[in-house]
Chains A and B, each alone.
Chain A
Amino acid sequence: MTTPTLISIADLETVYDRLATAIDQAGPQKTELFLVKLALLNANALGNADLFQQNVQAALQDL
């Protein structure tokens, strides 16, 4: 199952760069912590545990 495309390519490219930069800024010791914080903030923004779970499943694919 694929999640629908809701973000513009330009915005996706912006997110891509900002996330990469932020991971580098957090540093290897704090990358995981940073990403988990980000996930929780985004879960709050989503406001929907089911949708969050769908994203979790999608992210777990093909690791």
Chain B
Amino acid sequence: MHTPATEARYSIYYNYQVYKPWLPSAHPPQGRKKVVIVGAGPAGMVAAMELARHGVACVILNSELQVSQGSRAIVFTRRSMEILQQYRVAERITENGLPWRFGNSFYRGQRVFRMEAPHDQDDRFFPMINLQQQYLEEYMLDALMANPLIDFRWGNKAIGVEQLDGFARVEVDTPEGCYTLDADWVVAADGGRSGIRTARNLQMEGASYEGFFVIADIKIDLPLPTERLAFFDPDWNPGNTILMHREPHGIWRVDYQLPAGEAPEDALRPESLKARIDAQLAMIGHAGTPWEMDWCSVYSARTLTLPDYVHGNIIFTGDAAHLLPIFGVRGANTAFQDAQSLGWQLAFVIKGLAGHRLLANHSTERVGAAREIIDEAGKSTRFMTPPTHGFQLLRDAVLSLSLTQAFVRPLYHWRTSRPHEYTHSILNSQGDDNALFKAGPAHGAPPHNVRLGADDFLLDHLGGGFDLLYFTEAAAVPEPLQKVVAEARAKGVPLNLIAIGAAQPVNGADRTLPDTDGHCRQRYGVPASGGAYLLRPDQHVCARWLTLDATRLQAALNAALPQ
């Protein structure tokens, strides 16, 4: 019998709502579901939203009766916001989060590196915004619970998943006992300690690092801006690293590395936490400022991924599929991209718009993304927690040199999460003009946002299906192109045709964006009328043409929907 906690979790700043469990006795017998999502964290919730967006119903299981314990993921990137905007939750994050774009690294009291993330007027969202995960989950939850295609089940814990002939069976435990749920597809979004992954004995590839970090959220009034602070090798914690981030509601995240050999349980003793946090506050000139502990936890850096995310009718996503170091805000921000990718590709397979090759493509694309992150984040991790004597020496040499030598300072810059470009995706068109463009997002890249007017950006108008951006000053989209679009729609392919560049509504387009100053055309590197971009439902580019014709549009759609 599963007995989730029924008391609201402790928090200084967040009021937990405890929901009623979903009980099988209160519902009719369960027929086979299209999709069951195990886990209602960021990955599971985005997968549910994306499936629903394409008309696919799902059941999503949350073993608990309330949202995330503690702030967990607190930094959301611009691309995450562009994804979350599509589920109408980005606005609430913007209203309540703290945006930022600068990071500072300190050594021996000197600021040795300042990261400045670009932010230009074409971007709706800041490079980064800080908000505690409870709020993100709450906003997602509100969207999920309002969606009739999503069956959200609190207090339902998946205790076993079995692959059967062409479907999967989930054994679900509840506060009144177990029931069985059959599904065409099971999405394992059950987090870094995925029970489904463990039970199937799936091995991950990559490295684990030994250093442990304490994450502590404290309530404190510090007169500091919202910028990332990183302190290397301070006197109070020799050889180790401390990170600080501001969160809403007067909370600061203090993240410090433990001396080698110290057990995590010792580090979480209140007196140990107090001594170290006091030492850190003293170091930054705020000794004696009163503070209160909200939540703390311990983690270690790992760079691991499953080599394939699709296992029969079970698909792994988010942290269940890979474990990435949090330096560079890789967890939730990667999960949003994973889950959106999974959501649309699984939906298209379920609806018969593409064959299973599309799911294999999802796995290839996202494993590729994880490996790219592992490569990049591995460098940061080897700098933050040097794994060997050699790496330790190099790191110390760089710290020492950085006080006077500018050329080593960029080594402090750990690359932050950015969207993976599916450069070699099988969904990319082979006969288009990709290589002939001199600007604009290339094959597999996410789109460039463009400011169109006051509170109006290009990405506000995209997503949910394929988008054909057709750059034209003419009165109508050419008939042959309209015909290809109409035929695709007749097969059920969601395809939006957006004309860009004409003052009057263009005949045959679903929407016309005037682009009077030609800025959008310039951002997309389109030299003349008749150029076009085809974006996938996750907004990534799969084809672009200097001059679009019906034959090549059809070829691109065929490539993007492998049978």
Asked if chains A and B come from one complex, the reply is yes
Q: Which residues of A contact B (CB under 8 A)?
A: 32-33, 36-37, 39-41, 44
- Identify B393's interface contact among A36, A41, A44, CB under 8 A: A36
B396 proximity list for chain A (CB < 8 A): 33, 36
Instruction: Tell me the complex Cα distance, A36–B405, Å.
Output: 14
B143 proximity list for chain A (CB < 8 A): none
Contact A33 B393 (CB under 8 A): yes
- Identify A33's interface contact among B397, B405, B407, B408, CB under 8 A: B397
A contact patch SS: helix
Known: A33-B393, A33-B397. 10 other contacts (CB 8 A): A32-B393, A33-B400, A36-B393, A36-B394, A36-B396, A37-B400, A40-B408, A41-B401, A44-B405, A44-B407
- What are 22 A-B pairs at a CB distance below 8 A? A32-B393, A33-B393, A33-B396, A33-B397, A33-B400, A36-B393, A36-B394, A36-B396, A36-B397, A37-B397, A37-B400, A37-B401, A39-B397, A40-B394, A40-B397, A40-B398, A40-B401, A40-B408, A41-B401, A41-B405, A44-B405, A44-B407
A41 proximity list for chain B (CB < 8 A): 401, 405
**Nearest Cβ in chain B — how far from A38, in angstroms?**
9
Nearest A residue (CB) for B394? A36
Instruction: Tell me the complex Cα distance, A58–B397, Å.
Output: 22
5 tightest A-B CB contacts, nearest first = A36-B397, A37-B397, A36-B393, A44-B407, A37-B401
**Nearest Cβ in chain A — how far from B411, in angstroms?**
10
Instruction: Tell me the complex Cα distance, A33–B401, Å.
Output: 10
A32 proximity list for chain B (CB < 8 A): 393
A44 proximity list for chain B (CB < 8 A): 405, 407
Instruction: Tell me the complex Cα distance, A40–B404, Å.
Output: 13
A33 proximity list for chain B (CB < 8 A): 393, 396-397, 400
Nearest A residue (CB) for B408? A40
B401 proximity list for chain A (CB < 8 A): 37, 40-41
**Nearest Cβ in chain A — how far from B400, in angstroms?**
6
A36 proximity list for chain B (CB < 8 A): 393-394, 396-397
Nearest B residue (CB) for A43? B407
- B397-415 residues at the A interface, CB under 8 angstroms: 397-398, 400-401, 405, 407-408
**Nearest Cβ in chain A — how far from B251, in angstroms?**
38
- B343-401 residues at the A interface, CB under 8 angstroms: 393-394, 396-398, 400-401
**Nearest Cβ in chain B — how far from A32, in angstroms?**
6
Nearest B residue (CB) for A45? B407
**Nearest Cβ in chain A — how far from B311, in angstroms?**
40
Instruction: Tell me the complex Cα distance, A41–B402, Å.
Output: 11
Instruction: Tell me the complex Cα distance, A37–B407, Å.
Output: 12
**Nearest Cβ in chain A — how far from B35, in angstroms?**
48
Instruction: Tell me the complex Cα distance, A31–B291, Å.
Output: 42
B400 proximity list for chain A (CB < 8 A): 33, 37
Instruction: Tell me the complex Cα distance, A44–B401, Å.
Output: 12
B394 proximity list for chain A (CB < 8 A): 36, 40
A39 proximity list for chain B (CB < 8 A): 397
Contact with A along B68-84 (1 / 0, CB 8 A): 00000000000000000
Residue from B394, B397, B401 with most neighbouring chain A CB atoms (10 Å): B397
- B500-521 residues at the A interface, CB under 8 angstroms: none
Nearest B residue (CB) for A39? B397
Nearest A residue (CB) for B411? A40
Nearest B residue (CB) for A38? B397
Instruction: Tell me the complex Cα distance, A41–B407, Å.
Output: 9
**Nearest Cβ in chain A — how far from B384, in angstroms?**
18
